[in-house]
Chain A
Amino acid sequence: MVLVFAEHQKGQFKKAAFEAVYYASETAKVLGTECAALVLGEAEDLSILGNYGATTVHQVADAKLNQFDSQLYTDVIAQAIEQLGASVVILNHSSTGKSLLGRLAARFNAGSVSGVNAIPKQDGGRFLVQKLVYSGKAIATFELKSDLKLLSLMGNSVPPQKTDASAAVQALDISVGESKLTIKEVSTVEGTVPLPEAELVVSAGRGMKGPENWGIIEDLANVLGATTACSRPVADVGWRPHHEHVGQTGVAIRPNLYIAAGISGAIQHLAGVNSSKVIVVINKDSEAPFFKAADYGVVGDLFDVVPRLTEALKKQKAG
């Protein structure tokens, strides 16, 4: 059986969970088995995971699991794996999923691959998975030989498909230990899609000349429904918050559309964004290295081009 750990935020399932469940159900098809989901903590509307291919949703609703602790979660998931007899476990390649993947691999001495980006293949009895390595500069294929196989799924790499199937919800009887952590504060930006999950991203860099000019970037992001991001120098000088920094030392992203304005495209920046499906570069310097990695380029002053693009998008939306 393929078991997928479905992440939720304060009880709500988001795209990452649907992607993981869909990926797990496709993996189950490859292996000719069933897909079950596991939910930890209190959450609403669990049966929605059936829409993405889970036949059963198992829940451990203990309120101690409402906050993330990798040790506590690993204990519970490990018991679920044993109780349910899972042979493959799917997680998101998120901060939560990465911690759990590593811990579970060590717990079971099981083979794991983090950040897979395609449905596994069976090849003459070999279980093969694929991921990007060298910051997106190459694709690696791995074989997993252990009985239990653990995978974390890179966000935005396998689009989930929805059906109207539903899932049976079952409570799992697993006792939960005590956390060694005290969560003092959680601060997240509300109302926007976090960068690792965003399908559309509008990003800007030093070409903006100052933080006070970011209004045109926010306008463009708003009309697209995109998340805003920035380059490293801009985050370093405090023009934009640290969590917006995309690139090698910041967040690595792979949206469907990445629009970069006033970013030259240093290799460290590209390392974090070059897996984006479509890249649009706006820069007044036609020699900017970013144009080599772009699908569409606009050579021009971003202070003219960006508002013009926003207007063109508004017109298209209205039309």
Chain B
Amino acid sequence: MKLLVCVSKTPETTTKIKFNADNTALDANGVQYIMNPYDEWYALVRAIELKEKFGGQVTIINVGPAGNDSTLRKGLAIGADEAVRINAEPQSALYTAKQIANYAESQGFDAVLLGKETIDYNGSSVGAMVAEYLGLPFLSYASKLTMENEGTVIVDRDIEGGTEQVEVALPIVLSAAKGLAEQRIPNMRGIMMAKRKPLKVEEPVEFDDAVVTVEFQLPEEKGAVTLVDPENMDELVRLLHEEAKVI
């Protein structure tokens, strides 16, 4: 199987979010970056598992500047075979998707996998966009993927309040949710091997963006918690009814 996994670089979950002076970009000072967890834990690991079972190759792709190479090296250490970086500062989901689709178009991948969303923009957009550019079916929020016959997969996908099981012929684009695979920690051998695996850098195709970030704001600080006597739940009910007005 020939598999492509899209990996994004995101601030680590516990990052304290702050912005630059004119509030147009994240203040990257002191921010720890990680590979987007859904890309890493679920999409990449499931792709590696499929390769281990059916043979083939796993390619990882990132749209970003040279500083993102460390994210790609980590993916190689976990078990991807080769990495591609499209050398551009991603402007929007559509820009990113266009670059990925442009690379994937001529490569004949059986599946393109990515996480259900990134933990920075929480957009959940890139997968569907890549699928549309490539003219492929898109299965979002996949929590299980099995392949019985070569070329056909059965996917369980999370939908509102339940799951849906779908059978579809490859090639497909799939976004990964919890359950699709278990996180793998790269071992020393993987980390050493990653240094020798190919990491190609390609230039982006031109693309005019229609979405412009105007500004970021921090939400209003929550006031201090109002503690209620555990013996007096009538008081909590009164507060929820009269003060918070939520019941």
Question: B-contacting residues of A (Cβ < 8 Å)?
Answer: 68-71, 74, 94-96, 98-107, 109-115, 126, 128, 132-146, 180-189, 192-197, 200, 224, 242-243, 245, 248-250, 252, 256-257, 267-268, 271, 277-278, 280-281, 291-301, 304-305, 308-309, 311-313, 315-316
Contacts and interface: CB of A to CB of B under 8 A. Distances in A.
Contacts of A115: 122-124
B190 interface: no
B212 A142 contact: yes
Given A186-B162, A194-B160, A280-B240, A142 B247 contact: no
Given A142-B212, A257-B240, A242 B225 contact: no
Given A70-B128, A200-B247, A183 B211 contact: no
Nearest to A244: B161
Nearest to B172: A180
A114 B125 contact: yes
Highest count of chain A CB atoms <10 Å: which of B38, B127, B163, B225:
B225
Contacts, number: 268
A304 B97 contact: no
A182 B138 contact: no
Name the prevailing secondary structure of the A interface residues: mixed
Contact of A278 (B166, B228, B244): B244
Given A106-B94, A180-B169, A295-B222, A277 B161 contact: no
A74 B137 CA distance: 11
Contacts of A95: 140-141, 157-160
Contact of A144 (B97, B119, B123, B210): B210
B236 A298 contact: yes
Nearest to A182: B167
B113 interface: no
A114 B234 contact: no
A185 B129 contact: no
Interface string B208-224: 01111111111100110
Given A292-B225, A297-B228, A250 B178 contact: yes
B154 interface: yes
B205 interface: no
Contacts of B169: 180
Interface of B: 11, 13-15, 17, 19, 37-38, 92-94, 97-98, 101, 119-133, 137-138, 140-141, 143, 154, 157-169, 178-179, 209-219, 222-223, 225-231, 233-234, 236-237, 239-241, 244, 246-247
B239 A138 contact: no
Contact of B215 (A68, A141, A248): A141
19 contacts: A70-B128, A99-B128, A99-B138, A104-B132, A106-B97, A133-B120, A141-B216, A142-B214, A143-B214, A181-B166, A184-B165, A194-B160, A242-B178, A257-B244, A268-B13, A296-B227, A299-B227, A308-B231, A316-B241
A139 B19 CA distance: 11
Nearest to B218: A138
Contacts of A257: 240, 244, 246-247
Contacts of A143: 211-212, 214
Q: Which 9 A-B pairs have the closest CB atoms?
A: A102-B128, A300-B230, A111-B210, A194-B161, A188-B162, A146-B210, A106-B132, A312-B233, A103-B132
A300 B230 CA distance: 6
B236 to A, nearest CB: 6
Nearest to B123: A114
A102 B210 contact: no
Nearest to B124: A98
B120 to A, nearest CB: 6
A309 B167 contact: no
B13 A311 contact: no
Contacts of A141: 213-217
Contacts of A292: 225
